[in-house]
Amino acid sequence: MTSAHDIHRGAGLGRPKARLLDTNSTRDGAYVRSAPTVVELFPTSAGGYDHQGPLHSSPDETFDQSGKIAWRGGNATGFQIRSMVGEVDVTANSIELHFIWTSGYIEKEVQSNGKVIPNENRPAFAFVLPPGTRVGFRLKEALEYQQLSLELQPDFVLGAAGLGTSVSFDIAETRDYRDPLSWQLARVIYGECIGQAPQGILYTETAATLLAIHLVRNLSTVTCLKEIRRGGLPPSLLRRACDYMISRLGEDISLHQVAASVQLSTAHFSTAFKQSSGVAPHAWLRRQRIERAKTLFHDPSLDLTQIAMTLGYANQSSFGVAFRRETGLTPTEWQVWEAV
């Protein structure tokens, strides 16, 4: 099996290997990784694919950037690619979703079950591969496109849908997935991947949970989803969940961790928390962090980078994005306004 690190530009032509850029940071049991910039249509870095054969690259092929976010039961990788040609055979080892949109041009064909299926150039298309699906992709030309690839373990999908892990279900292979809400969620997750999770794992995992729910509704053999109880969280559980998040303001906690602190599934917890508090868990946590930041501004020994790190943000830029989303001002603008 060919790995990403074995891929050569123009195999057999004596060209240099593709340069790999790979940085990792661990965050509270989950990780955010800048995925390798490789000459592949679909990334092997997450371990979810069995690839047979390399993609062949021409000298003018370029990659803008890529980024990966992983959480318990799934991961997402976003790519910005200027140009690419090649071919690859894929065997999915988990439930795979791929969303592709372009401002340029894509010409490719798909080989599945002995059939060759041409794909006309379209500004956006998505496909879903159940575990064990084997598909060949022949990319004739691709210019200026973005791709989000998600790998979701069956247990994560079942948990998101509020179903027990013992439930047996199948996902239908789909080469033209058009669910509008899934596309909206995909764009949100893509932005987090490329931006290196500026709003944290909790935000991305919540979006992935909602996407998994719609995947079960639209493409699975499950005839009905378990009804999520109405009425929100009991006060004791709401207080416990809030205390858990407050005690970890400096950590990039996941939705699974917060839900587990009150012994609920991610789907039940996320819905019930919003019913009780009026906002989603990630929005509630962001609000607490920003309120804490306002008090830290009064400490002359702390600069904005130190405050960002203290509150669990990867860098000052991510902190600035969250602060502006919550207050409508940048941290510097807020400090100036407060000093007037």
Pair (194, 264) in one structural domain: no
Check whether residue 14 and residue 59 sit in a common domain: yes
Amino acid 269: pLDDT? 87
CATH number at residue 273: 1.10.10.60
Contact in structure between 37 and 201 (CB atoms under 8 Å) = no
According to the model, what pLDDT value does residue 306 have?
92
Mean local confidence (pLDDT), 196-209 = 86
Do 154 and 270 lie in one domain? The reply is no
pLDDT in tens, 79-105: 988 888 888 787 888 999 999 988 888
What integer pLDDT is reported at residue 186 of this predicted model?
94
CATH number for the domain spanning 57: value is 2.60.120.10
87 and 156 assigned to the same domain? yes
Residue 258 structural domain: 233-339
- Asked whether residue 227 is assigned to any structural domain, the reply reads no
Q: Do 193 and 148 form a contact (C-beta atoms < 8 A)?
A: yes
Cα–chain center distance at 293: 27
pLDDT in tens, 284-301: 999 999 999 999 998 989
Number of domains in the chain: 2
pLDDT of residue 47: 36
* Judgement on whether residues 194 and 273 belong to the same structural domain of the protein: no
Domain match, 16 and 133 both: yes
Q: State the pLDDT confidence band at 69, using cuts at 50, 70 and 90.
A: very high
Q: If you average pLDDT over every residue of the chain, what do you get? A: 75
From CA 282, how far away is CA 279, in angstroms rounded? 8
Residue 280 has pLDDT above 90, yes or no: no
> Do 76 and 200 sit in the same domain of this protein?
yes
Q: How many other CB atoms are there within 10 angstroms of residue 267's CB atom?
A: 23
159, 187, 217 — which closes off a domain? 217
pLDDT at 241: 92
Residue type (1 letter), 155: D
State percent of the chain over pLDDT 70.
75
- Do 164 and 245 fall into the same domain? no
- The 8-class DSSP code of residue 263 comes to T
pLDDT value for 120: 66
The rounded radius of gyration (Å) of the Cα atoms in the chain is: 22
Mean pLDDT over 155-160 rounds to 85
Listed ranges 46-50, 161-165, 171-175, 221-225; the one with the highest mean pLDDT: 171-175
Question: Using an 8 Å Cβ cutoff, are 280 and 270 in contact?
Answer: yes
Best CA proximity match to 219, nearest among 276, 271, 275, 152 = 152
200 and 258, same domain (yes or no): no
More confident residue, 316 or 161: 316
Q: What pTM did the predictor assign? A: 0.66
Mean pLDDT value across residues 168-191: 88
Strand intervals (E) in the chain: 23-27, 30-34, 63-71, 74-91, 95-112, 115-119, 124-129, 134-152
Q: Are residues 186 and 294 in the same domain?
A: no
- Whether 226 is covered by a domain: the verdict is no
Tokens matching residue 303: 């600069």
pLDDT at 107: 81
Residue 181 CB neighbour total at 10 angstroms: 13
